Amino acid sequence: MDPEGDLITMTSTDDLRLAESVGGVSGGSLRFYIVEVSPDREPAYEGVSKEDVVKSEAKLNDDVENGEAIKGTCMEDWIVQFALLFKNHVGFDSDSYLDLHELGMKLYSEAMADSVTSEDAQELFEISADKFQEMAALALFNWGNVHMSRARKHVSITEDGSRDSMIGQVKIAYEWAQKEYVLAAKSYEETLKIKPDFHEGLLALGLQQFEQAKLCWYHAIACKIDLESGLSEDVLKLYNKAEDSMEKGMQIWEETEERRLNGLSKFDEYRTQFQKMGLDRLFKDVSPEDAAEQAANMSSQIYLLWGTLLYERSVVEYKIGLPTWEDCLEVAVEKFELAGASPTDLAVMIKNHCSNQNASEGLGFKIDEIIQAWNEMYDVKRWQVGVPLFRLEPLFRRRAPKLLSILEHL
């Protein structure tokens, strides 16, 4: 108040500083009254004309109406000074809260640093890294499966056209499938770069190479391509790669299964570590019976694919006059026996081999028909006992591509 007892209106930074200095000298406190006034009684601002204020308000309104973001403006010194005076007047010490927050964050960071450098944390990091590695490999594996499915694109052949027209349509479908097989192989190979012991990637790569070799062979026969032109060598190279992938994948899977049976698998190791930390609820246990049944089905499917690969290869070798076809057929029969094929089924397959003078036409697809029948029988069994699927099963149990059937009858 002034000497006459009237309230003093604060209109500038200097007024605030003067009030602060007076309060500091007298040792007393300051009291501010905030009242709303009409625009015509608004005090004048130093250095700013009324026209400038109106223009500023108009521009602000235009920005809001146009949907533009309003950036922060520079805060005047008197507002800061007023805030300090208000804080001291009411006794509100915000600095103490900031200090407590800073202290809490510091203690939290130190505690986290101690936790992540402990031995228990290193074990958790190792498990996490392994799981993320497997997840990345599985993503690429599924990506390859997509291309394998795209390679089986439905082919519509107009049978009322000429043979040349049909061959042209088949060529387009053949090139499409070849492109997708190449992309699938690339994805599976990337899977193995990320996780070299990912047996699913190796087995899927073997299947891709086998299907590609089979497609190349049937396309050459249908289009009457000269087998002496080097195509037969390319087909055999694909078969060699497929066998190599199958053998490596089977070896890794058998080693993994042996560790599981001996209680030395990564799953058992991780579960033990999690039990020590009280985190065992994160693991989903599979009963020994279900695990054994799933392993048996996995083994059967692998040997079934392996036997099919060798059987088809023996057909190719017989057609191009290689004497090794008999050995190949013999090994194929052994794989089928390991897969659980009955003696009757084996006798039918041998009888329908192209080396048999009495073999029926379309012998290459007799094996596919028998395998499809086995898969349907397996479906019934799995439905009865509730055996869970494994990752490779949908890929292994696909029907032969329609394009192969078209090539056979072209």
pLDDT at residue number 99: 63
Is residue 270 classed exposed, middle or buried when 0-12, 13-18 and 19+ CB atoms within 10 A define those classes? buried
* Alpha carbon separation from 121 to 106, 127, 265 (Å, rounded): 20, 10, 21
pTM for this model (two decimals): 0.66
Do residues 177 and 151 make contact, with C-beta atoms less than 8 angstroms apart?
yes
Domain residue limits, the chain: 1-66+74-93, 134-408
Per-residue pLDDT of the chain (410 residues; tens, 9 = 90+): 666 767 777 777 777 777 777 665 555 666 776 666 666 666 655 555 555 545 555 554 554 445 444 444 455 677 777 766 666 655 555 565 556 667 677 777 777 777 777 777 787 788 788 888 888 999 999 999 999 988 887 677 776 667 777 778 888 888 999 999 999 999 999 999 999 999 999 999 999 999 999 999 988 888 887 777 778 889 999 999 999 999 999 999 898 888 887 777 776 676 676 666 666 666 666 677 877 888 888 888 889 889 989 999 998 999 888 899 999 999 999 998 898 888 888 888 888 788 776 655 543 445 666 666 556 555 545 544 444 456 777 777 666 677 777 777 66
pLDDT at residue number 378: 54
Exposure class string for 177-216: b at 16+ Cβ within 10 A, else e:
beebbebbbebbebbbebbeebbbbbbbbbbbbbbbbbbb
**Mapped to the 3 state alphabet, what secondary structure does the chain carry?**
CCCCCCCCCCCCHHHHHHHHHHHHHHCCCCCCCCCCCCHHHCCCECCECHHHHHHHHHHHHHHHHCCCCCCCCCCCHHHHHHHHHHHHHHCCCHHHHHHHHHHHHHHHHHHHHHHHCCHHHHHHHHHHHHHHHHHHHHHHHHHHHHHHHHCCCCCCCCCCCCHHHHHHHHHHHHHHHHHHHHHHHHHHHHHHHHCCCCHHHHHHHHHHHHHHHHHHHHHHHHCCCCHHHCHHHHHHHHHHHHHHHHHHHHHHHHHHHHHHHCCCCHHHHHHHHHHHCCCHHHCCCCCHHHHHHHHHHHHHHHHHHHHHHHHHHHHHHHHCCCCCHHHHHHHHHHHHHHHCCCHHHHHHHHHCCCCCCCCCCCHHHHHHHHHHHHHHHHHHHHHHHCCCCCCCHHHHCCCCCHHHHHHHCC
What are residue 45's DSSP bridge partners? 48
pLDDT at residue number 204: 93
pLDDT at residue number 362: 43
pLDDT at residue number 189: 96
- The residue count of the chain comes to 410
**Of 149, 154, 145, 148, the residue nearest 172 (C-alpha):** 154
Could you give the CA distance from residue 338 to residue 341 in angstroms, rounded to a whole number?
7
The four Cα atoms 275, 279, 284, 286 give a dihedral, to 10 degrees, of 0
pLDDT at residue number 282: 60
